[in-house]
A and B are shown apart, each in its own frame.
Chain A
Amino acid sequence: MAETSAISEDFLRQLTAVGEVDILVGVPTFNNRDTIERVLSAVQVGLTKYFHRERCVLINPDGGSTDGTPDIFKNASVEDFGMLLTSNPLRTFHRVSAPYHGIPGKETALRTLFTAADLLRAKACAIFSPDSLSITPEWVDSLIRPVYREEYDFVAPVYQRQKFDGLLARGLISPVVASLYGRRVHEPVGSELGLSGRLACHFLESNVWEEDLTTFGLEIWMTTTAIVNQFRLGESFLGPKIHAAKQFGQDVAGTVRQVVGALFRCLDLHQDFWKRREGASEALPLFGFEYKVALEPLRIGKKGVLDTFRSQVEQLVPILESILTPQTLLHLRNVAQLADRDFHYPDELWVKTIYEFAAAHHRSVINRDHLLQALPPLYRGWVGSFILENQKTDAARMDQRIEALGQEFDRWKSYLTDRWEAGTGGER
């Protein structure tokens, strides 16, 4: 059994009382008093509605909230949601809330949850974000049922997104995962997740917990690790994903650095796998009824995005010269010269940019933090171009557009392989 030092004595005492469970649901929190009640309500109603015979526990690892989040969690009861229930739970419903040791963050929270899953011998687990405004009880069923009933190990969410929402996942992370790992995962960094107890234990026994990778890139690591170790993957359609308000640009640079950095680190870890893998990528089995609702458009200031790109490309040329090939850099600088009306960041250039960054990161041609800091401006350029190009594109065409981008990543996979071990520094 894995080390249990990640959890406090009080937490352990509560888990002991819970005993073996069929389903473990985790909602990690940190100052989420405004949204936690809704999430808690949806989860409890979902468990009662869809899993009223199963032994369930709802666990809230809290990172030290000072706004009363754990109290809200502890004090709510199934009876509070009586009006929402169509059936009654047959069993005692356990809620466990405990602060965890260590730095507040998803890594420690999930490690705590995986430890609990191991101790309680959970068959199926699900993790929900504490700030999902659009969560419904059906999400519980969608993420848990494939694991609990169909023996899947990893169920990623599929959200209905506004066409310009989630571009980092759809335009970079997902296509790279598909091309290199061979599985088309719509949301490889989704904040909701279903997983089997055995996969939770597998994650727990990994030796990456002390690395930065898990601090900022846990989701991508879990997704890729599940693929590499041949666990059974699926996806479930959850519907629209609306979370507590965020605007594009609000620390986009930090997010890009963290998530893409984690992806690149995973490519390092799993290079034996993806370099040997051949053939086209496969779609994952999709569960759930796919429906569409009208979503409020996401407003992105195109002008600001493009101006930032243009100015920063020139400022970053000395660094980019270490990372990119001369051809790619030249092409990039030419794109940066284009007027708004003609602005276009071609797919091929975008794919080569990412692959060259990945290879440079692997070879540590410069300090990796500096390398990753050079990427967000380029990402802004691609986003700006993508928005200009697709302003009038409908949802169906948008899917085709993303698929075409994915094919471009597929087409250039050998380009990455060739560059992966090619010398040090950027080729001139």
Chain B
Amino acid sequence: MAGDGLWYKDAVIYELHVRGFYDSDGNGAGEFRGLTLKLDYLSDLGVNALWLLPFYPSPLRDDGYDISDYTNIHPAYGTLDDFRMFLDESHRRGIRVITELVLNHTSDQHPWFQQARSSRENPRRDWYVWSDSVERYKQARIIFTDTELSNWAWDPVSKSYYWHRFFSHQPDLNFDNPAVREAAWEVMKFWFEMGVDGLRLDAVPYLVEREGTSCENLPETHDVLKYLRRRADETFSEKMFLAEANQWPRDVRQYFGDGDECHMAFHFPLMPRMFMAIRLEDRKPIVDIFQQTPEIPATCQWGIFLRNHDELTLEMVTDEERDYMYDEFARDTRAKLNLGIRRRLAPLMEGDRRRVELMNGLLMSMPGTPILYYGDEIGMGDNIYLGDRNGVRTPMQWNGGWNAGFSNADPEQLYSPIISNPVYGYQAVNVESQRRYDHSLLSWTKRLIRLRKSSRVFSRGTMEILKPQNHRVLAYIREFGNERVLVVSNLSSQAQAAELDLKRWKGSIPIEMFGGNLFPPIGDLPYLLTLGPYQFYWFRLRRL
């Protein structure tokens, strides 16, 4: 697995929850042994990196993002030995492993916090952020607006307030304290030494607080990240930091530093705009956000995605755009959560295979490393009747049999009900049935991933957006070295024609990449293409 160290640029990442993937011991929840058994499926799918949601010991009041022990495995998911075996088996298949690291806060059950709250004199007291008043840091917004009224919570034990940017049971660590930084590094080192390839750094904008600021994206926060990166680079090679910073691109840009902070960061604002563009049948939202996206250091990469384990976040959109998204994608108000929409890809696309394919086609051809969310490769549905974001975290649907092939436990014992409605239920949507047919979404997704990985032009190339007069057509050129790919997508539900100005590539032959067919050579005249509803083309431009 050696290379130039930029493996994360060429990766196709698959995000999954150990609990929801495969239950091999029949207790109703997935674990590492079960996941290990399904690595061949993931390898066959073509993904070459896995991103695992938190699996640490935790009271599970926030699905594992409330960690109570950073260097162990939650008993429900197995043991450290199970994890080592999973890691080895993944690497044997050429699959890298990215795990979650929630540095901003711990669970209130973490021993560090238990000690900190035990008395004001405890040595761990200063590992968290305390106050006798709620008047500090008033300019910081509340993130979980549906559940929290303040960023301060009263601790009846030590009779003072502690700071939390997320749930009140998740006290924020105090990164102004060098001991906390050192402890964070020790956690990182523990997992890197074991063989983990990358860490998704959860909620990084909130590490440090300063009076009179929003307490987000502060220079001191970047100092912390640079410190951790330096320690990682000094000790290891080919390790990767992926920043979760749900911010505008210009603010996220800071998390790359000069190539000395995070290797990757999610491009949050792109995602809702892809949904908006396909609904509006207009490329404007996508073009606008790319125009607002700054250049990043050569060793860095955006992480792009359609859906993930959270709600479709609408924090990084304007009020008008948010209203539009709610009206179009969350007509059932139960789908709304915080500032977002808790739905999976297929239901958001109203089960329209063409739209699902187009969205994946965009994801795989845009600059950045694509991240697939488990189950979306077969078009899994969701359950908006479950609380919080649990509706998009239901068990993987492996087949049409007992518990969708996910577990042998009694259905009542499962950690979550399986999707069983007539449209997205496991009898209709499952891996087994889709494996049998070349035209299934699963088979199509495999081909798409294979094509994406066939050329570094997608993972490392530049992007130049073309502007045909027809705004329903999104077209761009990806270029890397001597390789050039033209991507043309019809965002509309109706057939469209577009004339592309390709004069610069006059004499080149467009070769359609899915079928390998030659198209007429590019000449002086605008290149006319017609596209069916939601159709897209990837053309390799070959100069003869």
Contacts and interface: CB of A to CB of B under 8 A. Distances in A.
Interface of A: 13-14, 16-20, 52-53, 55, 87-92, 94
Contacts of A16: 469-470, 497
Q: Most chain-A Cβ atoms within 10 A of its Cβ — which of B318, B320, B496?
A: B320
B320 A14 contact: no
Contacts of A53: 280, 320, 324
B44 to A, nearest CB: 40
B283 interface: yes
A92 B474 CA distance: 12
B276 interface: yes
Contacts of A87: 318-320
A90 B324 contact: yes
Nearest to B321: A90
A91 B469 contact: no
Interface string B457-471: 000000000001111
A52 to B, nearest CB: 6
Contacts of A52: 320
Given A18-B470, A19-B471, A90-B276, 16 more contacts: A13-B469, A16-B470, A17-B468, A17-B470, A17-B498, A19-B470, A55-B282, A88-B320, A89-B284, A90-B280, A90-B284, A90-B285, A90-B320, A90-B324, A91-B284, A94-B471
Contact of A92 (B276, B321, B471, B494): B471
Nearest to B284: A92
B285 A19 contact: no
Contact of B472 (A13, A14, A19): A19
Contacts of B320: 52-53, 87-88, 90
A92 B471 CA distance: 7
B492 interface: yes
Interface string B499-543: 100000000000000000000000000000000000000000000
17 contacts: A16-B497, A17-B470, A17-B498, A18-B470, A18-B471, A19-B492, A19-B494, A19-B496, A52-B320, A53-B280, A55-B282, A87-B318, A88-B318, A88-B320, A91-B280, A91-B471, A94-B471
Interface in B430-476: 468-472
A90 B320 CA distance: 8
Contacts of A88: 318, 320
B93 to A, nearest CB: 44
Contact of A90 (B282, B468, B497, B498): B282
Dominant secondary structure at the A interface: loop
Contacts of B470: 16-19
A17 B283 CA distance: 13
Contacts of A17: 468-471, 498-499
A7 to B, nearest CB: 16
Interface in B285-331: 285, 318-321, 324
Interface residues of B, number: 22
Interface string B145-166: 0000000000000000000000
Chain B interface secondary structure, helix, strand, loop or mixed?
A: mixed
Contacts of B283: 92
B253 to A, nearest CB: 22
A92 B282 contact: yes
Nearest to A20: B494
Nearest to A96: B469
A94 B283 CA distance: 13
Nearest to A94: B471
A208 B336 CA distance: 55
Contacts of B280: 53, 90-91
Contacts of A18: 469-471
Contacts of B472: 19
Contacts of B469: 13-14, 16-18
Contacts of B285: 90
A245 to B, nearest CB: 38
A18 B496 CA distance: 10
Nearest to B473: A17
A316 to B, nearest CB: 57
Contacts of B494: 19-20
A95 B331 CA distance: 32
A89 B324 CA distance: 11
A91 B492 CA distance: 13
A20 B281 CA distance: 11
Contacts of B498: 17
Contacts of B276: 90
A19 B282 CA distance: 11
Contacts of A91: 280, 282, 284, 471
Nearest to B472: A19
B48 to A, nearest CB: 36
Contacts of A19: 470-472, 492, 494, 496
B478 to A, nearest CB: 22
A88 B498 CA distance: 26
A13 B497 CA distance: 11
A123 to B, nearest CB: 15
A94 B284 CA distance: 11
A8 to B, nearest CB: 15
Contacts of B471: 17-19, 91-92, 94
Q: 8 tightest A-B contacts by CB?
A: A17-B469, A92-B471, A91-B282, A17-B470, A92-B284, A87-B320, A92-B282, A91-B280
A16 B283 CA distance: 16
A17 B498 CA distance: 7
A403 to B, nearest CB: 44
Contacts of A92: 282-284, 471
A8 B498 CA distance: 19
Nearest to A86: B320
A106 B496 CA distance: 32
A89 B285 CA distance: 10
A20 B321 CA distance: 21
The residue among A16, A19, A53, A87 with the most chain B CB atoms within 10 A of its own CB is: A19
